[in-house]
Each structure stands twice: as C-alpha cells, then as structure tokens.
Amino acid sequence: MTWFDSAADAGKRLADAGYLADQATATTTFLAGALEKPLLVEGPAGVGKTELAKAIARATGAELVRLQCYEGLDEARALYEWNYKKQLLFIQAAEVTSKESEERAEPQRDWATDIFTEEFLLTRPLLTAIRRAEPTVLLIDEVDKTDVEVEGLLLEVLSDFQVTIPELGTMAAVRRPLVVLTSNATRELSEAVRRRCLYLHIDYPDADREHAIVTSQVPDIEDTLVRQIVETVARLRALELRKSPSIAESVDWARTLVSLGTGTLDAATIDATLGVVLKHSSDLDRAVRELRLRQG
C-alpha cells in the first residue's frame, strides 16, 4: 500500500485531517511513507509533533499505536511479556488434570510447551504494531526519555521490522507500519538511530500559517483578534524567554479570550491573561517590561 500519492497529496490530506502542514512537513511525511523509513520529529514543545502522527493516522485511515517512552521503560513494557499469572494458573490446573488422567492411564499432555503459546503472550505496542495486518501508524513518543538500552532495541525493530521471541520464533511485519518518533532533545539520540530515520525539525510557524491554525482550531473567533494574537505571540518569541510560547499556547490563548468574550487584545487584556502563554515568572516579568504593559 502507498501511504500518499505525492507530497502535495500528503499536505492536502493532512489539512483535511485538521493538520496544516508546511511544505517541508508534507514532503517529509510523503517520503516517510514512500521510502518506508521511520520519521524522527524534533522541535520545541507544543509545536505539534505528536499531533502530526495522529493526523497521519486520521488522514490515511490507519490505526494509531502509541508507545509513550519514559525513564525505566523496558522490553517487557515496549515489546512483549509472558502472562505469568495466567501461566501459573494453567500449570496448577494442568497438574490436577494430569493426576486424574494418570489414574485413568490416558496419554500425558506436555504442558511445558503449552504455556508458551500466543494465548499467554501479552503484546506491547511495538509487537502490536508489527503484527497488525491493517495499516498502522506507530507513534514512539518522547524517545529521548528512554535509556540507551531501549534505543538498541528500537534499532533492531525499526531496521528490519521483525522481532524474535525465543519460544515462538521470529515474527516479521506483515505490513510495515509508518513509524513516527518524537523527541524533545533532553538527551542526544545516538547516531545509529538518526541514520536510520528521516529527520524533520518542526519550528514555530510563520504568521500566516499560525493564523490559519488558530482559526481552524477555534472556529468561532474573530479575524482581527486572531491577527492580534499572532502578532503578540510573534513579539513574545522575539524576546529571549526561557520557554517561548508555541502553537499550543496560541490556541489556548485564543480559546481563553473567546470564552472571556474579549473582542480586542489591548495592553490590559494581555497583562491579565499572559499566564496562559508564559509559564515562568521571569518570563512574565520580562514580557511585561518589554511590551510596556504596565505604565509607570
């Protein structure tokens, strides 16, 4: 199956799914589908990295399988695990039945091999995504939070799309999932992972695109207000803040202003609602000073 017909098609279908992609994003998404390579997405928090994966799933009608990474994530949580409790119950039940069958001199069942079957396998996101026969988007979120060992595991899975389970044998992907990895760069990913992936850096959007995004996310907002929000956010980004406002914050701000029933964004309104966009007290102080929000 082809995921998208062309870069333009990718852009259009993502837009239909509610994700307004720029040209680089659309092209790279198309390539990820066409070359069947994982896509590594980096960028500041809140620019829509995770949303891109969700939008791809919506646009292609594929199911999204998500693996949220965290410190201490291991193979048992990422790949597969044997259901020990169920195996234990099965063995206990088998002991009882085998005694009974012994009394009746029936042939013995070899329950030691019976407990390592599909029935007792708990598939975790990576294995689930590989075994699915329907189109799948596999989202590996915040891959930089994992330990280096998991990265090694990912390498194996992402390059061959197959997993070896000692008791069952090798499971190869029936249909390769489209893999999206997101990272916030808290840790440098290894060269090996980067080399196997296509790379996309999503940055803050330009004014026109941000305007379109806010309008599409908050439909009942006035056009002048959107323009004021976009312009103010652009000015905030030009300041050197600890955390610059991203798209998520612009949309939150728009929602806040709409629910407050504010029609226009003047200095007093900005001052009152700035906490929606800026999350550090030093950033707030700086913005108040630089935007001259409070007189005197």
Q: Smaller CB distance to another protein: residue 132 or 211?
A: 211
26 vs 52: CA distance, rounded Å: 10
186 binds another protein (CB under 8 A): yes
Nearest residue (CB) to another protein, 4 versus 80: 4
Q: d(Cα 64, Cα 73) in Å, to the nearest integer?
A: 20
User: Taking the complex as a whole, how short is the minimal distance between the CB of residue 149 and another protein, in angstroms?
Assistant: 12
Candidates 12, 37, 227, 255; binder of another protein (CB under 8 A) is 37
Region label for 46, one of left (φ > 0), alpha (ψ between -120 and 50) or beta (otherwise): left
SS3 138: strand
- Residue 188 CA to residue 194 CA, distance in Å, equals 10
Selected binder of another protein within 17, 94, 234, 258 (CB under 8 A): 234
With CB under 8 A as the contact rule, the residue among 58, 66, 194, 209 that binds another protein is 194
Q: State in angstroms the smallest separation of the CB of 91 from another protein.
A: 21
Q: Examine residue 188 and tell whether it contacts another protein (CB under 8 A).
A: yes
For another protein, the binding residue among 105, 240, 261, 296 (CB under 8 A) is 240
Question: From the CB of 240, what's the least distance to another protein, in Å?
Answer: 5
Among 76, 91, 172, 185, binds another protein (CB under 8 A): 185
Burial of 278 (0-12, 13-18, 19+ CB in 10 A): buried
First to last CA, the chain: 65
What are the counts of helices (DSSP H) followed by strands (DSSP E) for the chain? 14, 9
268 scored as a contact of another protein (CB under 8 A): no
**Residues in 202-231 at the binding interface with another protein, rule: CB under 8 A:** 207
Q: Which of 86, 242, 279, 294 binds another protein (CB under 8 A)?
A: 242
Q: Out of 173, 239, 248, 276, point to the residue binding another protein (CB under 8 A).
A: 239
- Is 284 one of the binding residues for another protein (CB under 8 A)? no
User: Is there a contact between 132 and 65 (Cβ–Cβ < 8 Å)?
Assistant: yes
Can you tell me whether residue 276 is helix, strand or coil? helix
Give the separation between CA 249 and CA 51, rounded to whole angstroms.
14
Residue 195 has φ and ψ, to the nearest 5°, of -65, -35
Axis-axis angle for helices 23-35, 7-16 (nearest 10)? 110
Q: Going residue by residue from 132 to 151, which x/- string records binding to another protein, judged by CB under 8 A?
A: ---------------x----
| Binding-site ranges for another protein (CB under 8 A) | 6-7, 23-24, 27-28, 30-31, 34-35, 37, 40, 42, 147, 185-188, 191, 194-195, 197-201, 207, 234-236, 238-240, 242, 280-283, 285-287, 290-292
